[in-house]
Amino acid sequence: MIDIKLLRENPDIVRENIRKKFQDEKLPLVDEVIELDIESRKTKTLADNLRAERNRYSKEIGGLYKQGKKEEAEEMKKLVNEKADLLAECEEKEVALQEKIENIMLVIPNIIDDTVPLGKDDSENVEIEKFGEPTVPAYDIPYHTDIMESFDGIDLEAAGRVAGNGFYYLMGDIARLHSAVITYARDFMIDRGFTYCIPPFMIRSNVVTGVMSFAEMDAMMYKIEDEDLYLIGTSEHSMIGKFIDQIIPEEELPYTLTSYSPCFRKEKGAHGIEERGVYRIHQFEKQEMIVLCKPEDSKEWFEKLWKNTVDLFRNLEIPVRTLECCSGDLADLKEKSVDVEAWSPRQQKYFEVGSCSNLGNAQARRLKIRVTGEEGRYFVHTLNNTVVAPPRMLIAFLENHLQEDGTVTIPKVLQGYMGGKEVLVPKK
């Protein structure tokens, strides 16, 4: 959520930002907020004046009673009561106007960074750099669920009977590989100075609206019936929510946290053939990284975060590339975002395995996460990035480590998490 002061004083900046994000349908909202803000401030001024009059009259009434001027005091009390009704109306109107303004401000997109390339959707994202040599072996790479089935490592049919489409059972070596990757990712981030955390897997609605846009919320979140609780779609939600309505001493920054959680997503809409299997699912696990820092440090942290993911994938001997997300592909709260994509030898193209985002003070402003320092209070900047998210990561892992004989090699950094195994041997 942007600062109302920015919209009030520089509405053209807000309008231009909306155009950059190709959301012209939101342009009328700027004028609507300006009109509501003018009315709100007038109402507040009137209410403040009425409160001041009430206080002044109250003192005068007390003085009149002391002087024995009861009739004059009673007449003034009637006037105060009349003003009280008007004050109540003003206060009620003030609350209603502020609620309208806030609801609209939640829809207006955050100001994107000047370096973000312009584009309508993800097809116009810009490649930054490749890491590792993408290879295509001379032998065929089966579909990822076929590879898993050769190890008796997945059961989609049983999961369908139990929970429906979008769920799976992982078993045996594949399940162990899944857990090994998560555990390695945890230790990798701890070694880089991040504090490990396991957060709540459900959050209240005020946290949901604090960390994401309404459009994302509708497309992603599962609500618990008859409870003010939602299942998290990523641990970032509850990790940022941890600091809701808090005032952080400046000397404690930055907070660098890495969190594990299961994630639950509706995944609304139809998806292509490459999103069958376990590519898009309703439940998965993820290791995340989160940073809360001073505004002047957020750009530096942004670079550090996405490089952590690149380094982890390179340690696992998986080629990756980074993409700068264009303006139209950015969620409304994001200032800047970089996707990390892994190489798929089967598809002979890259696919997304992580996303790094700088949200500036948008989440902090919604959640009232402030910092107190020598120069007063200000809103903290928040950033998040995927460390690793199996089972999508397993797709890249299995395809890049599959050998012609059907075995799967285990990189050295992961062997200790796999009981010393250097290779997985299929059962079929």
What are 343's strand-pairing partners?
350
Determine the distance from the C-alpha atom of residue 357 to the mean position of all C-alpha atoms in its chain, rounded to a whole number: 8
Q: How far apart are CA 221 and CA 230, in angstroms?
A: 6
Q: What are the residues whose beta carbons fall under 8 Å from the beta carbon of 154, sequence distance 6 or more?
A: 145, 148, 168, 169, 170, 171, 174, 278
Distance CA 362, CA 368 (A): 10
- Using alpha carbons, select from 312, 330, 329, 310 the residue that is nearest to residue 320: 310
Residues known to be catalytic: 265, 280, 352, 355, 392
Q: Letter for the amino acid at 177? A: L
**E strand or H helix at 129, and its extent?**
strand 126-131
Question: What is the phi-psi region of residue 132: left when phi exceeds 0, alpha when psi lies from -120 to 50, beta otherwise?
Answer: left
Query: Tokens representing 23?
Result: 């959301």
What one-character DSSP code corresponds to residue 402?
B
Q: How far lies 90's CA from each of 42, 99, 290, in Å?
A: 10, 14, 42
Spatial contact of 104 and 313, defined as CB atoms under 8 Å apart: no
| Cα gap 82→92, rounded to integer Å | 16
CA distance 222 to 225: 9
